[in-house]
Amino acid sequence: MYVTGHTRRQPSIRDVASAAGVSYQTVSRVINDHPSVKPATRERVNRVIEELGFRRSATALALASGRSRNVTVLTANTTHYGHASVLRGVEEAARKAAYAVGVGVLEADDEQAVAAALQRAGDSAGGLIVIAYDPVGVAALAAVDSEIPVVGVVETPDHEPPPDRPWVWTDDHQAAYDATAHLLALGHRTVHYVAIPSSTCRLSARTNGWRRALEDAGAPVPEALQGAWGPGSGHEAGLLLAGDAEVTAVLCGNDDLALGVMRALYQAGRSVPGEVSVVGFDDAPYSAYLTPSLTTVRLDFTGLGRAAFDLLHGVLTEATPVAPHSAAVPELVIRESTARPA
């Protein structure tokens, strides 16, 4: 069989219209499920659509209608488990709603780079979801033009989001409180804390939850250590902590940090959980298989992503009232890395 190099053009609504013996306007009504089309006509048009393999052009639709069935998620990171899972949740919900999803990564947090990322995203997207777990994300969320629909995936906020700009989060504060309380209940005198980068200048909800639990129990409140996102910075913090004989329990802002801390403790000859208990945040896929397996707070990132999309979809279509909401309840998963103090 010989095929010419010529690409057969995709059929347009006009092609469908002439093949079905109607005006292209009627075809438009059919593909938009407009009520006022005679059933027989509708059926005939649908048959032709099927035969010709017609697919409505998303770009023409976007240009003509001004709406774009595309959302893009802006994030500072795509490989970290939490961020990647949020993206996955967004994609899942978007797929169900027949939306396309784009990704933009926020490389640097200078104003220019953020502005550029925002513009690129705004060019193609009808709406934005920005993951604001870190300073770059927060800056981006704040810099979004007021005309473009956006929802933020944020840390537990301490104030209401602006009405036109919903947020989505899981209750970090309570989760950190619970994890700290668990350690205290085991008999530890206090709990040290290695923080992930705070998204804002003020203290994060996790930090506050940890501190509150300590205060409520009348335990001393040690100074929190500031970590980054990866295990390397957990390792550095762990080295510091390992040198302090007072340290018997460490709460970490995420599992990567906890992993680094455990490694440092091991290198310093302090056993986990024999001498020191360690708790993480996230429940990354690897955490259950570490030795000792990691006690951690399971966060439903995927559910968060789905919620973010649903919210955005709501503001995009104006069908649903938009309300800020906290999705999914975190759950403390107790494994081998926590025990009573020696």
Task: Measure the CA–CA gap between 300 and 153, rounded to whole angstroms.
Answer: 12
Which residue pairs, CB below 8 angstroms and at least 24 apart, start in 313-316? 313/71, 313/93, 313/97, 313/99, 315/127, 315/149, 315/151, 315/164, 315/166, 316/67, 316/71, 316/126, 316/127, 316/149
List the one residue from 33, 38, 245, 318 that touches DNA (CB under 7 A): 38
Residue 41 contact partner, candidates a copy of itself, DNA, none, CB within 5 to 8 A by sort of partner:
DNA
State the nearest-atom distance from the C-beta of 70 to a copy of itself, in Å: 6
Residue 124 contact partner, candidates DNA, a copy of itself, none, CB within 5 to 8 A by sort of partner:
a copy of itself
The residue range among 28-36, 87-95, 259-267, 321-329 that interacts with DNA, by the rule CB under 7 A, is 28-36
Is 55 a binder of a copy of itself (CB under 8 A)?
yes
Residue 31 contact partner, candidates a copy of itself, DNA, none, CB within 5 to 8 A by sort of partner:
DNA
List the one residue from 37, 52, 62, 221 that touches a copy of itself (CB under 8 A): 62
Helices and strands, counts by H and E, the chain: 12, 12
The end-to-end CA distance of the chain, in Å, is 79
Task: Measure the CA–CA gap between 270 and 265, rounded to whole angstroms.
Answer: 5
User: Helix/strand/coil (H, E, C) string of 180-221?
Assistant: HHHHHHCCCCCCEEEECCCCCCCCCHHHHHHHHHHHHCCCCC
State the nearest-atom distance from the C-beta of 34 to DNA, in Å: 7
State the nearest-atom distance from the C-beta of 213 to a copy of itself, in Å: 27
The residue range among 36-44, 86-94, 188-196, 211-219 that interacts with a copy of itself, by the rule CB under 8 A, is 86-94
Q: Enumerate binding residues for DNA (CB under 7 A).
A: 9-10, 12-14, 22-26, 28-29, 31-32, 35-38, 40-42, 54-57, 60-61, 63-65
